[in-house]
Amino acid sequence: MKKYLLIIVVVLCYSCSSNKITEDSIRKSMEYLASDELAGRATGTEGIEKAAVYIEKYFKSNNIKPYFETYRDSFQLGEITGYNIVGVIEGNDPKLKDEFVILGGHYDHIGKGKEVDGDSIANGANDDASGTIAAMEFGRYFSKSKTNKRSILITLYAAEEMGLKGSAHLAKRLKDENLNAYTMINFEMIGVPRAKEESMAYMSGYDMSNFATVLNKYAGEEVIGFFPKAKEYQLFYRSDNFPFYKELNIPAHAISTFDFTNFDYYHHVDDEADKMDYVHMKNFMDKMVPALEGMVNAETKEVVLKEKDE
């Protein structure tokens, strides 16, 4: 009975909140991050620098503090300088605030793609401005609601498209600094809905932990399901969750609503803001809020790794 009362309280808390996630806020960020002005956000370019500045301003205006001395976690790839953007929302519990939940997505893309009708800019709206915006919106929600007992890192990565280089750098840095990390969620391509008979989203590495079960419990429904192709394509190892699993030995998964049947523009110049479903994106984030609140506020570490490979 207590479990269901907690779920109801969390849902009611969000429904009456003055800082609810809105389609307008999502669209505003998307129309900038996936605009031609940013030229596809390839790591090391002027376009991704503009994206980084936009994210930093968003963090600052929403009272998301820099985790390091600045928002930037810098790294070198030959002559290219990359920047992860890292903000923190401190937890409000004297003990639990020393444990961190990491939320993230990659804000880089491939820059140019195969030209179609004179357009060669691969805007990267679904991949992964959508996941970037989800992490940003969750950061804004928690910074304003102050409902998180554990601390939350909002981590946005460059150089994912170069082989998970940004997330690998950050994960190792956090390990070297002995971060007390609890869990990590990477939001990867959540801009389009799945078929109605499918779960809203799926989690890579589903069987490697009880993460999906815990999130669904607090959501009060099955938001995160099992997707066989995630295992077949080894998606767990191909996105920015993997370095955090590898370095920190914590439950770290990617959540996605792209299932290879519902969007034709992966690494394509038509992956643009006008192809995104903003009603779906808001609905997904709304359902994730109570799931995340339940996890970051649980008195014990409910999410645990299983002794089983994907």
Whether 307 maps to a domain, the answer reads: no
Is residue 309 assigned to a domain? Answer: no
Structurally, the chain folds into a number of domains equal to 1
Residue 310 domain-assigned (yes or no): no
Query: Cis (ω within 30 of 0) for the bond into 128?
Result: yes
pLDDT score recorded for residue 308: 55
Q: Do the domain assignments include residue 247?
A: yes
**Contact 121/33 with Cβ under 8 angstroms?**
no
Where are the extended beta strands (E) located within 127-219?
A: 151-157, 181-187, 201-203
Residue 305 lies in a domain: no
What is the band of 19 on the pLDDT scale with cuts at 50, 70, 90?
confident
Q: What's residue 307's pLDDT?
A: 76
213 in a structural domain = yes
Strands 80-89 and 119-122: unpaired
Residue identified by tokens 């992966």 is 266
- Which range of residues forms the domain containing residue 235? 2-297
Q: What is the CATH number of the domain that holds 133?
A: 3.40.630.10
Residue where the block lists tokens 């034709």? 264
Q: Tokens 């070198």 belong to which residue? A: 76
Dist CA 45 CA 42 (whole Å): 6
d(CA 26, CA 194): 19
Structural domain contains residue 302: no
151: phi then psi, degrees, rounded to nearest 5: -80, 150
Q: How far is CA 299 from CA 19, 46, 95, 218, in A?
A: 25, 44, 10, 14
Distance CA 72, CA 86 (A): 6
Q: Report the DSSP pairing between strands 119-122 and 224-225.
A: unpaired
Question: Rounded distance, CA 295 to CA 138, Å?
Answer: 13
pLDDT at 95 over 80: yes
User: pLDDT tens, 183-232?
Assistant: 999 999 999 999 999 999 999 999 999 999 999 999 999 999 999 999 99
The answer to whether position 306 is within a domain reads no
Q: What is the pLDDT of residues 45-63, one digit of tens each?
A: 999 999 999 999 999 999 9
